[in-house]
Chain A
Amino acid sequence: MSPSPLGAPTPDPGDRVTFLLAHADDNMVLAQRLGEWISKAPELEEDIALGNIALDHLGVARALYTHAGEVEGLGRTEDDLAMRRSERDFMSALLVEQPNGDFAHTMVRALFFDAYQVELWADLADSVDPTLAGIAARALKEARYHLRHSSAWVVRLGDGTGESHRRAQDAVGALWRYTAELFEGDADSYRSGWQKRIVEVLDEADLIIPDDPYQRSGGRRGFHSEHLGHLLAEMQWMQRSYPGLEW
């Protein structure tokens, strides 16, 4: 841990608990974002699909939080870790906290993230930590299922009408800058597999990768865009207002 300009310690990405928490946070934040679509998706089947995918991510987050709490050994539960850590403590990637935008934004964000998770879980399924390997093996099958869904939608939107193409291209342009962060540090080995997949889908969708090389970073160290604080305020409201409340 090293001091940060904001006073809070900057997590050490090599630390095992930090590693588990970062991936738990990714799934927790994305589950919350996808849950915002419920009752508002373009069609009933899609509403159900987004709810299902959100639940998968929530399930992965719960398993990882529980495991992180056990490894840490301080008695923190999944609820403590999800609901009582502040924005500065969350180590989720900037990509997952980005607002849903229109449906094209949500699907392009999903494509970028699902393709990353397929690489991540395939690697972690061989982890020497048997609990993490088990969680990853299960999540890998789910991530492939999610990726098939997001890929199909991005192709349909990109290769669809003029309007759907424009919106999908706008989404690629807006979200591309949050992708490099996913491959920082040890995750660099996931980059080539991810790029190959993304280029395949974008080619088929008639969408192009933006020229602008600018990339944002910071989420994994707890420095977030404005959006995460608002998301956490809503997600954690109950536990913040009534600490320890149970159903």
Chain B
Amino acid sequence: MDATQLPGPGMVTTTAEIGVLRARQVAASVVDPEIPVLSVADLGILRDVEVEDGRLRVTITPTYSGCPAMRQIEDDLRLALGAAGFDEVEVRMVHSPAWSSDWITPEGRRKLASFGIAPPGPMDDVLCPRCDSDSPRMVARFGSTACKALMVCSACGEPFDHFKEF
């Protein structure tokens, strides 16, 4: 089931299932500490939320190897679920299959652009998130975080981050 799916008519039958659905909602709303407009669901890293032997288990997939935010996201998931009444929470990191920037949802892409970060895509298709000009140029392939490159718009002259296509 999709991690962001909400309870709908005819779906919910037991208290335990309601609990899992609530936990999914809470987990899905945790945001990336580096790019706070994106939730873990938008990023596509929330793989599963399930209950096993009374314990809640949240499965996530790391993004870039060098992303220091992953540890923070693990802690934030535990905190958010703890605040929602889930005391026994295990956050599990699964490496396979490897995350790809293609897993960022369409909603996530819109949020990135509105936040001033060009969403992932082939270099030739990158648009300036401020003026939509299609002629930005690369300044530095390695930017302020592991996931971003620094570009500058040739039309409006503003620098901006591009979320790397991965």
Question: Which A residues lie at the B interface, using CB under 8 A?
Answer: 45, 48-49, 51-60, 63, 67, 130-131, 133-135, 137-139, 141-142, 145, 148-149
Contact = CB atoms under 8 A, between A and B. Distances in A.
Interface string B65-86: 1111000000000000000000
Contact of B65 (A51, A67, A130, A139): A139
Nearest to A67: B95
A138 B140 contact: no
B96 interface: yes
B65 A138 contact: yes
B95 A49 contact: no
B143 A137 contact: no
Interface string B43-76: 0000000000000000001101111100000000
B64 A48 contact: no
- Chain B contact residues: over half helix, strand or loop, or mixed? loop
A48 B143 contact: yes
B100 to A, nearest CB: 8
A226 B61 CA distance: 38
Contact of B166 (A52, A57, A133, A141): A141
Contacts of B62: 59, 63, 138
Contact of B97 (A134, A141, A142, A149): A134
Contacts of A55: 65-68, 146
B95 A63 contact: yes
A60 B70 CA distance: 13
Contact of B142 (A45, A67, A139): A45
A52 B68 CA distance: 10
24 contacts: A48-B142, A49-B141, A49-B142, A52-B143, A53-B66, A55-B146, A56-B66, A56-B146, A57-B66, A58-B66, A59-B65, A59-B67, A63-B62, A67-B95, A130-B95, A130-B96, A131-B95, A134-B95, A134-B96, A134-B98, A135-B96, A138-B99, A141-B166, A142-B65
B134 to A, nearest CB: 23
Nearest to A31: B66
Given A59-B66, A59-B67, A138-B65, A149 B141 contact: yes
B144 A60 contact: no
Contacts of B37: none
Interface in B86-112: 94-99
Nearest to B65: A59
Contacts of B143: 48, 52
Interface of B: 61-62, 64-68, 94-99, 139-144, 146, 150, 164, 166
Contacts, number: 76
B65 A56 contact: yes
Nearest to B61: A134
A110 to B, nearest CB: 13
Contacts of B64: 56, 59, 138, 142
B166 to A, nearest CB: 5
A45 B139 contact: yes
A137 B98 contact: yes
Contact of B94 (A45, A134, A148, A149): A134
B50 to A, nearest CB: 19
Nearest to A62: B65
Given A56-B66, A130-B95, 16 more contacts: A45-B142, A49-B140, A52-B66, A52-B142, A55-B66, A56-B65, A56-B146, A58-B65, A59-B62, A131-B96, A134-B61, A137-B98, A138-B65, A145-B141, A145-B164, A149-B141
B142 A60 contact: no
Contacts of B146: 52, 55-56
A145 B149 CA distance: 11
Nearest to B164: A145
A15 B61 CA distance: 27
Query: Sorted from nearest, which 9 A-B pairs have the closest CB atoms?
Result: A134-B96, A59-B65, A55-B66, A134-B95, A49-B142, A137-B98, A56-B66, A138-B98, A130-B96
